Amino acid sequence: MRIVTGGRYPELAEFPGHMEVAVQVGQPSRTALSVALVRATHQSTPSPRVFDDPLAVRLVGLETTELTASSEYWIPEQVHPWIVTRFRFAEDAIGAAVATGTRQVVILGAGLETFAYRNPYPDLRVFEVDHPRTQEWKRLRLREADIRIPPSLTFVPADFEREPLGVALARAGFDRGAATIFVCLGVVVYLTEQAALDMLSFTAGLDAPTQVIVDYNDLPTALPPDRRATLASVMQRVAERGEPWQCFFPPDELAQQLRSMGFTEIADSAVPELLARYGFEPSAANDPFAAHILHAARR
């Protein structure tokens, strides 16, 4: 266990899930199971159905009903559209990258993500990077669900706070000279700011065209008061699990950081824009996290 205190934004003191919290080191991520549960329940959503992932249902398994009713794995229902559309956005970007010659995808903080097991691109190599304990737990769930690990997949055990991403990937046979797309969803907010920037800086220093899909959250204080309560509740719950939210970026700051690293093409979409793109009603209620998804490229 380690203790995280404060941050560079003292105004976040009103959000108790951010300021002084115990981080559980060496435990598999329960948040990963919560997100997989959202993916699984989306498969029975009548409309709009934007993301097909039958393997999520198998990974969650017979626990689906029980977990849906459990407050331990609770994610507000109004957030579900954001979660599924960000995965759809990422897989659309992977498809477009493959069409222009990309042959490697690195999924950072993969959790119970299932793209590698549904990968429709025969020449695309997939690297799943995650904490060793989370990967061990995932491999157990894959065996229990009888989901085959394809030869195109390489597991990369890594702790972003303790080991440089480049070291972990080099150990796994990653090719620095091959065009690569990195997908980093639901990760940045759990890292320290320095760990997040170090991770992104590595992607900018490769010897080939590189793309990054990353989501992040604006400062909670950017939300109007009537929407802060939902966010504060979520932050408190994940902090109690030992997975506190630590890293936030005001609008344009992350884009500026990526430009300084050498990325030249950057598109940033807030939640309402992404929801509208995939057929959801882009109401304020569906954006309690002040979230964004950013697509950056170096050609």
The number of CA neighbours under 13 Å toward the Cβ of 111 is 20
> Is the confidence at residue 110, as pLDDT, over 50?
yes
Q: What is the pTM of this model?
A: 0.89
Output 242 or 42, whichever has higher pLDDT: 42
> Can you give the pLDDT at residue 25?
41
pLDDT band at 259 (very low <50, low <70, confident <90, very high): very high
How many other C-beta atoms are found inside a 10 Å radius of the C-beta of residue 98?
Answer: 18
C-alpha to C-alpha distance for 238 and 256, rounded to whole angstroms? 29
> Can you give the pLDDT at residue 20?
45
Output 221 or 17, whichever has higher pLDDT: 221
Proportion of the chain above pLDDT 70, given as a percent: 84
> Can you give the pLDDT at residue 288?
65
> Is the confidence at residue 56, as pLDDT, over 50?
yes
Residue 135's nearest CA partner among 161, 107, 162, 163 is 107
Paired tokens of 3: 């203790």
C-alpha to C-alpha distance for 212 and 298, rounded to whole angstroms? 9
C-alpha to C-alpha distance for 27 and 39, rounded to whole angstroms? 22
pLDDT band at 18 (very low <50, low <70, confident <90, very high): low
Q: Which of 2-6, 82-86, 204-208, 209-213 has the least mean pLDDT?
A: 2-6
pLDDT in tens, 130-176: 999 999 999 999 999 999 999 999 999 998 888 999 999 999 999 99
> Can you give the pLDDT at residue 101?
96
**List of domains in the chain:** 2-298 (3.40.50.150)
**What is the mean pLDDT of the segment spanning 234-263?**
89
> Can you give the pLDDT at residue 61?
75
- Give me the chain's average pLDDT, please: 85
> Is the confidence at residue 10, as pLDDT, over 70?
no
**What is the mean pLDDT of the segment spanning 50-61?**
88
Q: Which of 64-78, 177-191, 209-223, 275-289 has the least mean pLDDT?
A: 64-78
> Is the confidence at residue 113, as pLDDT, over 90?
yes
